[in-house]
Amino acid sequence: MLDKPKPIPLYLAPLRPGKDKQKKMFVRVSDIPPEGMDVEIEELIPPLDPAIGEVIPVVGPATGALSLEPLSKGVVRVKGVVSCALMLCCSRCLDSFISEVELEVNELCAPLPKGGMLQGELKDAFGYIHGVIDLTALYTSLLYSVLEMKPLCSPDCKGLCPNCGANRNRESCGCDKSARDPRWEVLEEIKKQLLGKDVA
């Protein structure tokens, strides 16, 4: 008689068995002892998909350590640090670069009520259902809050030449830097007219 297949452990379950290498880390609240527990993080996570902008690849695994402290009525405090590397696009020169992110986690997790919305002091807490906290979703959601609107490959990035589009970090194009963008001429004319009226 064949042995029954062992169930996938709750703590590390594939997103789509047989298709993805990424795994999501879950913790059953009832398994957390009164004194709390520590969880080591080392897992591949899916690319970030912000509402505005391009998909951001995550390079390599996310690593770190989280401590889980049970409070009361199913509320759990999760603290720790998770690190990962993101592949970003420089807003000046448009080159791709890797940005190391160290995310400090200090969040309350609370069971979602039947209405699906947390209220009062727990309105900003991370909600969970069926007595299980999705740690991957928790710290991944926090990554969105640290994304820069205009990431730079370096603070002194020279950007692209507005005339020929050359990357000024890698080459000198020889374009006349004093040349003005013709699109500003209309605004310059309006400015002259307004200044003329003020003088009059």
Q: Residue 111's beta-bridge partner residues?
A: 128
| Confidence grade of residue 109 (pLDDT, cut at 50, 70, 90) | very high
Round the average pLDDT of the chain to a whole number and report it.
82
Q: Kindly report the CA angle at 85 between 56 and 149, in degrees rounded to 5? A: 50
Which residues, in sequence order, are CB contacts of 185 under 8 Å at separation 6+?
A: none
Q: How do residues 157-178 score in pLDDT, each as one tens digit? A: 999 998 888 999 999 888 876 6
On whether both 164 and 99 belong to a single domain, the answer is: no
108 exposed, middle or buried (CB, 10 Å; 0-12, 13-18, 19+)?
Answer: middle
Q: Is 19 among the domain residues?
A: yes
Compute the distance between CA of residue 163 and CA of residue 181 in angstroms, rounded to an integer: 9
Q: Are residues 105 and 179 in the same domain?
A: no
Per-position b or e across 111-127, b if 16+ CB within 10 A of its CB: beeeeeebeeebeebbe
For residue 81, list its beta bridge partners: 65, 104
Judge whether 180 lies within some domain: yes
Task: Write out pLDDT tens, residues 110-159.
Answer: 999 887 788 888 988 999 999 999 999 999 989 888 888 899 999 999 99
> H-type helices in 55-126, by residue range?
none
Domain co-membership, 83 together with 178: no
In a domain, 2, yes or no: no
pTM for the whole thing? Answer: 0.69
Residues 131 and 190 in one domain: no
Q: Does residue 151 form part of some domain?
A: no
At 178 the pLDDT is 66
Position 9 confidence tier, pLDDT thresholds 50, 70, 90: very low
Residue 131 near residue 174 (C-beta atoms within 8 A): no
What's the pLDDT at 3?
Answer: 43
Q: What are the helix and strand counts (H, E) for the chain?
A: 2, 8
Between β-strands 96-111 and 126-128, what pairing exists: parallel, antiparallel or unpaired? Answer: parallel
Q: Which range of residues forms the domain containing residue 172?
A: 159-200
Angle at 186 between CA 184 and CA 190, to 5 degrees: 115
For the segment 23-35, the average pLDDT, to the nearest whole number, is: 86
> Looking at the structure, do residues 38 and 97 belong to the same domain, yes or no?
yes
Q: 77-102 pLDDT, tens per residue?
A: 999 999 999 999 999 999 999 999 99
Q: How many domains does the chain have?
A: 2
